[in-house]
Amino acid sequence: MTARVRSLLLGLGLTALILAVFLVTVWALMAVLEDGALPGGPRVAIVLLEGIIVDGDATVRELREHMDNPAVRAVVLRVNSPGGVVGPTQEIFSAVQRVRKAGKPVVASLAAVAASGGYYVATAADRIYANPGTLTGSIGVVMQMANLEGLLKKVGVEYVVVKAGAYKDVGSFARSMSPEERRILQSLLDDVYGQFVGAVAEGRGLDRGTVLGLADGRIYSGQQARALKMVDELGGLHEAIEGAARLAGLPARPKLLLPRRRFSLVDLLRNQLGLGAAGGLLPALPSLRTPLYLMG
């Protein structure tokens, strides 16, 4: 074996060793982060809730991890959302409540927009911080459907439905809605609206009648919301972190556990355009598939 070959093999061996050490180090760091065994003492965790709420699984999972992590003493929920689908919104709301029941304070920090479902989630927190110009409120429920009956007749399309169950195709785009169908859907929306009002009244410690006076779907600035006791303090993320630290008995500038950002083109489309897991913003065929939206 020539000296040149020996040098080449030695170089390859050293490269492989360095790569192996690097991979083991990365694996160890990831394991530490996943297990929550963070060095350096107690921390305040930050959870981001951004875009249209169409799937709450990731946020619920993140909140559960912080609830189980002994290093996390408080959570700041940073909300920048106009709202979204009712079910996922309520799942996140319940997850926030579970964190609080575990003895860890949760502070909501409202960013540019925290309306409707975004505000719904925030009311589960111990305290709510909003910027003076934050758009919030929009307490209400909406269901939107298209009626294309006239267009179908113009182009000569006959849409045929065979069903078992009188209201199986309620909300069909191919015909007008009957008064009874409208009554059924209105009753559904009224029920969910009542749940929304009840959550705000309980979370904010307000009389239900007072909340009903605010819950006509309008939006409020953070400053208006503060005057109406819909939020507790005016301030941004920094003030919310300090507030969470005080509630947890930590220093004013606590160590932070920052959110893990996972880039996904699908998630980007879902959050920014409202597409994906909810089935889109339009009714699917042949019957009503549009979810109830808590939207600003």
Q: What is the 3-state secondary structure (H, E, C) of 183-224?
A: HHHHHHHHHHHHHHHHHHHHHHCCCHHHHHHHCCCCEEEHHH
Task: Report d(CA 107, CA 100) in Å as an integer.
Answer: 10
CA distance 38 to 256: 11
Which residues, including other chains, have CB under 8 Å from residue 148's CB and lie 6 or more apart?
173, 174
Q: Which candidate, 110, 107, 156, places its Cα nearest to that of 133?
A: 110
Contact between 143 and 290 (Cβ < 8 Å): yes
Q: What is the DSSP string of 60-113?
A: HHHHHHHHH-TTEEEEEEEEEE-EEEHHHHHHHHHHHHHHHHTT--EEEEEEEE
- Does residue 241 contact residue 258 with C-beta atoms inside 8 Å? no
Which one of the listed residues 153, 163, 168, 229 is annotated catalytic? 168
Give φ, ψ of 188 to 5 degrees.
-65, -50
State the number of CA atoms in the 13 A half-sphere of 270 facing the CB. Answer: 17
Annotation says 168 is catalytic: yes
Distances (CA, A) of 217 to 116, 174, 285: 8, 29, 29
CA 29/CA 101 separation, integer angstroms:
30
Tokens in use for 180? 């009874």
Instruction: Give the span between the Cα atoms of 210 and 228, in whole angstroms.
Output: 9
Look at the chain and count its residues. Answer: 296
Q: Give the active site residue among 81, 109, 116, 172.
A: 116
- Establish whether 116 is a catalytic residue: yes
Give the catalytic positions in this structure. 116, 168
